Amino acid sequence: MSAGAVMINGKAVAEMMTNTIAREVATLRAQGITPGLAVVLVGDDPASTIYVRSKVRKTEAVGMHSVCHRLPTDTTQQALLALIHALNDDRAIHGILVQLPLPPHIQRDAVLDAIDPAKDVDGFHILNVGKLAVGRTDGMIPCTPMGCMLLLRRFLPSLSGRHAVVIGCSNIVGRPMARLLLNEGCTVVITHLQTRDVAAEARQADILIVAAGHAGLVRGDWVKPGAVVIDVGINRIDGTNGPTIVGDVAFDEVADHARAITPVPGGVGPMTIACLLQNTLRAASMTTSKDVTL
Ligand SMILES: Nc1nc2c(c(=O)[nH]1)N[C@@H](CN(C=O)c1ccc(C(=O)N[C@@H](CCC(=O)O)C(=O)O)cc1)CN2
């Protein structure tokens, strides 16, 4: 890593956030409200199973009420929708999360749009997507892009006027990430599979967000000296010492050019779950204020 490059330690930031959240949960509980999160997993995808277990463990660790519904792969869309409607009506549940990806026979958008937008702690409901798209701040923000923004803000006090390039245009990361950066005053370019020269676009970036799902895609010569690089990729590969997790960025090469970089693991990933807890706390707090106004 070059002498000036800083490693942005998402794991440490996520731990600090989680400690703060635990204190705020204790305050809410003292007022008689225990924030509740329901996680729904359909099927037995190994990575999803690990993420869901981690979400449940961390939800409980901060003192929230945690419910996990593990459904078989052949669960019908109708049965899944019935569960969501029941969770929407459950006053002990403030946040609902359906782990993605869903099996192919289930229409993802129909399921996500069935979640009460006020309980949509993933920020994937079309109403929350729309709020973010028009720059409104009263919607739920998807957890991974929110985690990236929190890491960026710690490192760059103002994002206004920066040139940001987002590699990847998924609904979970790339698109909401681009909108958050735009809302903070960045000039934003999104690249995708049809982009003619992704490397040339990346070289313009003051802020480079990489969420392509392609191990080691971004090489050292793709990065402008002094850029801040956020690696969202999580790729499982077989290394010489067994299976290992790497990002979308060739870390050692890029660290020679960048001013700051997130590692994988230990960068954006832990922030995703911390932001999920933050959104659940926010959802529970909003219910409270609604109750007070009524
Ligand atoms: N409903 C959702 N589904 C999915 C989301 C999401 O935000 N909502 N994001 C991803 C998976 N994901 C959370 O669900 C997630 C991915 C990675 C991590 C993480 O902490 N990664 C670690 C490495 C973990 C490992 O060893 O595998 C790291 O980067 O340090 C947390 C959450 C897709 N689905």
C-alpha of residue 269 to centroid of ligand 1, in Å = 6
pLDDT at 288: 61
Q: If pLDDT is split at 50, 70 and 90, which confidence band does 3 have?
A: low
Q: If pLDDT is split at 50, 70 and 90, which confidence band does 294 have?
A: very low
pLDDT at 155: 86
Please tell me the residue having the least CA distance from ligand 1 atom 13.
51
Do the domains 32-117 and 142-268 sit in the same CATH topology, yes or no? Answer: yes
The reply to whether 78 belongs to the active site is no
Domain residue spans of the chain: 32-117, 142-268
pLDDT at 4: 64
Atom of ligand 1 nearest to the CA of 144: 7
C-alpha of residue 270 to centroid of ligand 1, in Å = 8
Q: What percentage of residues in the chain have a pLDDT greater than 70?
A: 96
User: In terms of CATH, what superfamily is 32-117?
Assistant: Leucine Dehydrogenase, chain A, domain 1 (3.40.50.10860)
**pLDDT per position as a tens digit, 96-148:** 999 999 999 999 999 999 999 999 999 999 999 999 999 999 999 999 999 99
pLDDT value at 292 more than 60: no
pLDDT at 8: 97
User: In terms of CATH, what superfamily is 142-268?
Assistant: NAD(P)-binding Rossmann-like Domain (3.40.50.720)
The reply to whether 55 belongs to the active site is yes
Q: Which residues are annotated as a binding site?
A: 168-170, 234
pTM of the model: 0.95
Could you tell me if the CB of 264 is within 6 A of ligand 1? Answer: yes
Among 159, 246, 251, 266, which Cα is nearest to 205's?
159
Work out the mean pLDDT of the chain and round it to a whole number. Answer: 95
Report ipTM for this prediction. Answer: 0.95
Location of structure tokens 């370019």: 189
Cβ atoms 219, 258 nearer than 8 A: no
The reply to whether 107 belongs to the active site is no
Q: If pLDDT is split at 50, 70 and 90, which confidence band does 2 have?
A: low
**pLDDT per position as a tens digit, 70-82:** 999 999 999 999 9
Tell me the helix, strand and coil percentages in the chain, rounded to 5: 45, 20, 40
C-alpha of residue 21 to centroid of ligand 1, in Å = 19
Q: Which residues are annotated as a binding site for NADP(+)?
A: 168-170, 234
C-alpha of residue 132 to centroid of ligand 1, in Å = 21
pLDDT value at 90 more than 80: yes
Q: How far apart are CA 75 and CA 84, in angstroms?
A: 13
pLDDT at 291: 43
CB atoms within 10 A of CB 34: 14
**pLDDT per position as a tens digit, 168-206:** 999 999 999 999 999 999 999 999 999 999 999 999 999
pLDDT value at 290 more than 70: no
Q: What's the rounded mean pLDDT across residues 223-239?
A: 95
Q: If pLDDT is split at 50, 70 and 90, which confidence band does 225 have?
A: very high
Burial of residue 41 (CB within 10 Å: 0-12, 13-18, 19+) is buried
Could you tell me if the CB of 262 is within 6 A of ligand 1? Answer: no
Of the candidates 58, 99, 131, 206, the residue annotated as catalytic is: 99
Give the DSSP letter of residue 120: B
Could you tell me if the CB of 96 is within 6 A of ligand 1? Answer: no
Could you tell me if the CB of 174 is within 6 A of ligand 1? Answer: no
Tell me how far apart the terminal alpha carbons of the chain are, to the nearest angstrom: 56
Of the candidates 120, 122, 206, 231, the residue annotated as catalytic is: 122
